[in-house]
Structure 1
Amino acid sequence: MSKHSHCCSEEEDPKCKSQSTDVAAGHDHGDHDHDGHDHDHGSQEKEGWLSHWPLLTALLVIIVMMVLEYGFHITFSKYIQLAIFVPAYLLAGYDVLLLSFRKALRLDFFNEFFLMSVATIGAFTIGAYSEGVAVMVFYSIGEWFQDAAVSKAKHSIKALLDIRPDSVNVIRSGKVTQVAPSEVDIDEIIQIKAGEKVALDGILHSEGSSFNTAALTGESKPDSKNKGDQVFAGMINLNQLAEVQVKALFKDSKLSKILEMVQDATARKSQTQLFISRFAKVYTPIVFLLAFLVVVLPMLFLTDYSFKEWFYRGLVFLVISCPCALVVSIPLGYFGGIGLASRNGILFKGSNFLDVMTRVDTVVMDKTGTLTKGIFKVQQIHATGISDKELVRLTAILESKSTHPIATAILQYAGTTEQDIKDLEEIPGHGLSGKIDGREVMAGNTKLLTKFGISYPDTVDKTEGTVVVVAIDRKYAGYITIADELKEDAAETIKRLRSLNILTVILSGDKQSVVDKIAAQLGIDRAFGDLLPEDKVHQLELVKKERKGIAFVGDGINDSPVIALADAGMAMGGLGSDAAIETADIVIQNDQPSKIVDAIKIGKLTRNVVWQNIVLAMSVKLIVLGLGAGGVATLWEAVIADVGVALLAILNAVRIQNLKIR
């Protein structure tokens, strides 16, 4: 949970110098959290009613004193009032006074804390004790509202999960020993069991095995490796025990480099500031100047000038001008937007990203797991000399002895395939062979047929997607294409994005022909395939030079660097990797790409409501400022006007959650 950042110390973090005005205007500091600084309001973040007992006590004192004075007409002497109101004032305003003092020592006077301190202490100097306490109490209640809004509206972006294994099995002196990956030297042999993750980069020492490489390349197709082929940390061994000869130290693995890239990309993420935070840099000094002029100028023109009267009007001016309503209304406005997003299966990790989404003009997407389901399915069957049904039946019987994901896809398509196989043989990196019904059946990639001198049509090599080639009795019998399946709402998503004049781009580790096919099928503007993680980062940087607002959507570890680099990084939360989800600014919880468009629309709806709150708050302030300067409004009316605006803003913010986005 994000802590309140109002009271960060600039000695501890120099970035606080730029945060003062952000806070004064109600900025929720979503952009600062990227740097990992978690500042306290006071010594600890206050949560729950009981933890706010000082403020509640001060509020109770105000209520009791008002009831006694106006209900029972009981008045107290000056000293008794001081004995009652000073402790209440300190209970309500201790944090504000302390921070104001610290900022004053650094000659930072133009902030809401100093403004509130001057106004309330000034009220005490002219005997307006109840007004002084009331101003501080209601201001602190406003701060309390903001704390609650920010804590609910934001989720701290945690450090990227390091998914490298904690231990590895290394062969030393003929024995298998479990050690930390950092203790393994180059050229040592490590063992990876089926289902285990590779911990270090190296070359395959055993005859062959199949690996899931999606974490590094985004490629959905499992990769069969032969002896001598490169294997990288982060890959998952799919079927049999494999041995790998280490060729890179733990700190130099490809996975470690991806993690470093994420950190670098996060540091380069553009910062988003709300307009009101920039406005406050000019607004607060002007308020102090005008309050000073309200007190001093009448001295030059009025013969019956009363310093106490005009000083009181100056204090009223300060209280009215305090951005308390904005402090409450802006975060709650964004909280309403985040609530609407949550109801629609979208998690915003910071309310500032709602603002970012309003400026998105380009959506860059990974393919596998984002636009496609990441699940293999049989797409086409091309039989030669036998029926399609028979080709599938024989292939499924042969593949029934394999645990390879491609075999699983064929088995699911074929249904029941229980039958004996004779002379079953696995040819690493090529496929399977065996005798079914007295016929020799082979199924695998084209290298399998080439190995045995079996000719096949040239069109097989040009076929898009994953191809399982089949031969019967050493003669080509056809092939089965297997591909990932598009998500049901993928086409609708691209159509809606185009209607908003948003450019669409695919960056994928899959082969270019597959990416081009998906792009043409969906109507995506640009498509880039065969990309490693660093290539994706490079392509995104090129797009950022051309376009203004970039949202990237992905689901794999390999997507983490580009998710972090984009103006708005989005991750698929259902099937997405922990690394992608932790790095992302926005998480789509149900994996539907159509939620990308919903996130953009929610951002725009939220912006409209927030600006309604800003205009409302500023309009009321200008009216009451005039009344205060003219002596019509008192401190009580100033506080009530400010709190009233805040309540209206809260109701407006709650309204966001009931808006429809389609």
Structure 2
Amino acid sequence: MLAAALIVQYATDIPNRHYLYLPLYGLSYLAVGGPVWLKAFSSIKNGTIFSEFLLMGIATVGAFAIGEYAEGVAVMLFYMIGEYAQHGAVHRAKHSIRELINQQPDVAAVEREGSTEQVHPSEVKMGEVIRVRPGEKVPLDGELITERASFNTAALTGESKPIARYTGEEIWAGSINQDVPVRIKVTSGYKDTKLSHILTMVQEAARRKAPTQRFMTKFAKVYTPVVVWLAVALTFVPYLVVDHYVFQDWFYRALIFLVVSCPCGLVISIPLGYFGGIGAASQNGILLKGSDFLDQLRKMNMLFMDKTGTLTEGTFEVQEVHPLNGFDREELLLLAASLEQHSTHPIAKAIVDYTNGQPLQSVQRQQESAGRGLEGEIGSRSILVGNRDWLADHGVQYRGNGLDETYTCVHVAVEGVHAGIIGIADRIKEDSKKAIEDLRGLGISELIMLSGDNQEVVDAIARKLGLDKAYGNLLPDEKYRQVEEALQPDRTVGFIGDGVNDAPVITLADVGIAMGGIGSDATVETADVVIQTDQPSKIPLAIDIAQFTHRVVWQNIGFALGIKILVMALATLGMASMWEAIFADVGVALIAIANAIRIQYHYTDEGFSLTPPADPSTKEEPVQAECCC
């Protein structure tokens, strides 16, 4: 292109050598226009006759035909500069995805037969132990064996601060070990790591078009042939209506019309905007499974939220144990823990952990009712563990003592007698209240909590957070029905949850959001949006990114179409030259591309968030947990 520009300049500077003009301009044109014509022929071969490449080709050959050599070469030269700028912009837009891909290590140090082998992570089996030195990336998901270590998870979660991990806690592939050599027990295969799932989701999202993108693709297919025929009409129709028709003048106007009408800048700047939105979200720990979900997030005006693990921390501890009817405190705990020992629910884990490793008893004929409780036999005695409704279903007379107003309560009954109550507490997440305030500021008109916990617990949390409504005592299928009834043509409904029982509701909602850090694989797989950091404050951030992306995309559409229509009108009236046409095509495209890139820069500042950091001195009161024993 530089050589072509020099030839154009040289030819222009030697007005007395007209015989050199055409060969020099011809060489220049071939240098910059050859690739465009190749793309035009390739497009025709694939069934698309009227493409932007053909528009440029027709316009520039026409300019040569009427002796406007410099303008013909200039149009093609600037068009190619615009193409390179577009490719560079797309390259920048995909940068965050490439960075994520580069986080996947290709070497793992695995312990085998008393020594350490360097192998590809795909060769490491689950259960084997790997070693990671300070500064190295963790190659596979696993459990930390070392007593304590610090990891940088910024590439996965958007969290810039190192995170401390302790023995037995989960470590993700792609995390960077910060300080001490660590040993990790591998818990997933190479293709099943969290990082692999993230890569798959982000790459699929980049390929999935939003409605605006699909519209512009269809629009361009209709628009391009229409403007070609309008240009033909602009050349010949005036012959029938004007007194002094000059073919060359009207043909020149038609060529300007063709150059201006090229839709390439408009078509590329729109997907570029969505690339920017997806990239900005992923860099902040928010994974979108398609650019169409940016539009859905923007339109969302009603949000249902699970409680445990979503608005509350989901880490429970036994606070009080109250035996009743003559039962012993230790016996009460042992009976409850024995029934709960095989459950994965956080409440069950809290009860089992509270026994401090005491031997638990075997249970026969155990049955579970999701969201209500467990029943089984220990020795010759029938045991019930669950909520008040579970006891009532079995005809057990409930004796309350005020614990229900402070804690989530697990009730134990032995042989039909209420044996006691175990009070368990959870905490509201630090950023939950601010997240609710931000959601209201972004236009979410209805915020509703759905929980399996009793209504008193749910109401108390709803008041603290400022929610519109809260429904308790819900089984998983009842949560589903609540969301199903809310779905209306004039309403965009979202649901955010983390447990495996939330997966059906997340699938049902217009926008399904999963807490990806602690959420189950089923929930993450079915969700449209995944919050990697488990922070509620990321939800308003995701909506803000979606709204900003939408504004930028429509700014580009309005600006590009407005300028093009104006210059096409001026060209029709003979008031525009080829240089105005070049600006209306290449210049407008470059401005639109620069505007689209703003999305990435706007959200990639370190620590960017709608929600300021919480005051560490502020502690939330314990809240009751959702009882799904």
| TM bucket normalised to smaller | 0.5 to 0.7
Provide the residue aligned with 1:487 in structure 2: 429
Amino acid at match of 2:260: I
- After superposition, the Cα gap between the structure-2 partners of 1:102 and 1:88, relative to the gap in structure 1 and judged at 3 Å, is same
Please give the alpha-carbon distance, in whole angstroms, between the structure 1 residues aligned to 2:481 and 2:209: 17
Equivalent of 1:316 in 246, 256, 277: 256
Provide the residue aligned with 1:409 in structure 2: 350
Equivalent of 1:89 in 24, 29, 33: 33
Please give the alpha-carbon distance, in whole angstroms, between the structure 1 residues aligned to 2:251 and 2:329: 95
Q: CA deviation at 1:307?
A: 2.0
**CA offset digits 1:23-43 (Å, max 9, x no partner):** xxxxxxxxxxxxxxxxxxxxx
Equivalent of 2:316 in 344, 369, 376: 376
Amino acid at match of 2:592: A
Tell me the SS of whatever aligns to 2:316: strand
Question: Aligned Cα RMSD in Å?
Answer: 5.0
Q: CA deviation at 1:585?
A: 2.9
Q: CA deviation at 1:558?
A: 4.5
Q: Does residue 1:458 correspond to 2:402, yes or no?
A: no
Q: CA deviation at 1:501?
A: 4.6
Q: CA deviation at 1:320?
A: 1.0
Is the contact made by 1:497 and 1:503 (CA closer than 8 Å) also made in structure 2? no
Tell me the SS of whatever aligns to 1:374: coil
Provide the residue aligned with 1:352 in structure 2: 292
Q: CA deviation at 1:493?
A: 3.1
Provide the residue aligned with 2:581 in structure 1: 638
Matches within 5 A, 1:491-640: 491-498=433-440, 500-506=443-449, 522=465, 523-525=467-469, 527=471, 530-532=474-476, 539-545=482-488, 547-631=490-574, 633-640=576-583
Please give the alpha-carbon distance, in whole angstroms, between the structure 2 residues aligned to 1:611 and 1:333: 10
Provide the residue aligned with 2:232 in structure 1: 292
TM-score normalised by L of structure 1: 0.57
Tell me the SS of whatever aligns to 2:212: coil
Provide the residue aligned with 1:180 in structure 2: none
Amino acid at match of 2:498: D
- After superposition, the Cα gap between the structure-2 partners of 1:121 and 1:652, relative to the gap in structure 1 and judged at 3 Å, is same
Please give the alpha-carbon distance, in whole angstroms, between the structure 2 residues aligned to 1:516 and 1:314: 69
Q: CA deviation at 1:536?
A: 5.5
Q: CA deviation at 1:477?
A: 7.1
Q: Does residue 1:62 correspond to 2:4, yes or no?
A: yes
Please give the alpha-carbon distance, in whole angstroms, between the structure 1 residues aligned to 2:479 and 2:324: 41
Q: CA deviation at 1:321?
A: 1.9
More deviation in 273-282 or 332-341? 273-282
Tell me the SS of whatever aligns to 2:535: coil
Instruction: Report the count of equivalent residues.
Output: 469
**CA offset digits 1:524-580 (Å, max 9, x no partner):** 4253764446x6555434322265212232334554444344333322221223343
**CA offset digits 1:472-514 (Å, max 9, x no partner):** xx99874212355443333433344345352234456778887
Please give the alpha-carbon distance, in whole angstroms, between the structure 2 residues aligned to 1:537 and 1:475: 34
Please give the alpha-carbon distance, in whole angstroms, between the structure 1 residues aligned to 2:97 and 2:209: 18
Q: CA deviation at 1:124?
A: 4.9
TM-score normalised by L of structure 2: 0.59
- After superposition, the Cα gap between the structure-2 partners of 1:353 and 1:418, relative to the gap in structure 1 and judged at 3 Å, is closer
**Consecutive unaligned residues in structure 1, runs of 5 or more:** 1-58, 156-265, 435-441
Q: CA deviation at 1:314?
A: 0.8
Provide the residue aligned with 2:281 in structure 1: 341
Is the contact made by 1:363 and 1:551 (CA closer than 8 Å) also made in structure 2? yes
Amino acid at match of 1:642: D
**CA offset digits 1:615-642 (Å, max 9, x no partner):** 3323332443344345554434422443
Amino acid at match of 2:256: V
Matches within 5 A, 1:100-499: 100=44, 102-103=46-47, 109=50, 112=52, 114-126=54-66, 128=69, 129-131=72-74, 133-134=76-77, 137-138=80-81, 140-141=83-84, 144=87, 147-148=90-91, 151=94, 272-273=211-212, 284=224, 287-288=227-228, 290-300=230-240, 305-382=245-322, 391=329, 395=333, 406=347, 408-410=349-351, 425-428=361-364, 429=366, 445=385, 457-459=398-400, 465-467=408-410, 469=412, 478-482=420-424, 485-498=427-440
**CA offset digits 1:303-361 (Å, max 9, x no partner):** 65432332122111111122233234333333444454345432333333322222111
Tell me the SS of whatever aligns to 1:372: coil
Q: Percent of counterpart pairs with the same letter? A: 40
- After superposition, the Cα gap between the structure-2 partners of 1:147 and 1:125, relative to the gap in structure 1 and judged at 3 Å, is farther
Provide the residue aligned with 2:134 in structure 1: none
Please give the alpha-carbon distance, in whole angstroms, between the structure 2 residues aligned to 1:304 and 1:120: 26
- After superposition, the Cα gap between the structure-2 partners of 1:489 and 1:320, relative to the gap in structure 1 and judged at 3 Å, is same
Is the contact made by 1:544 and 1:550 (CA closer than 8 Å) also made in structure 2? yes
Provide the residue aligned with 1:99 in structure 2: 43
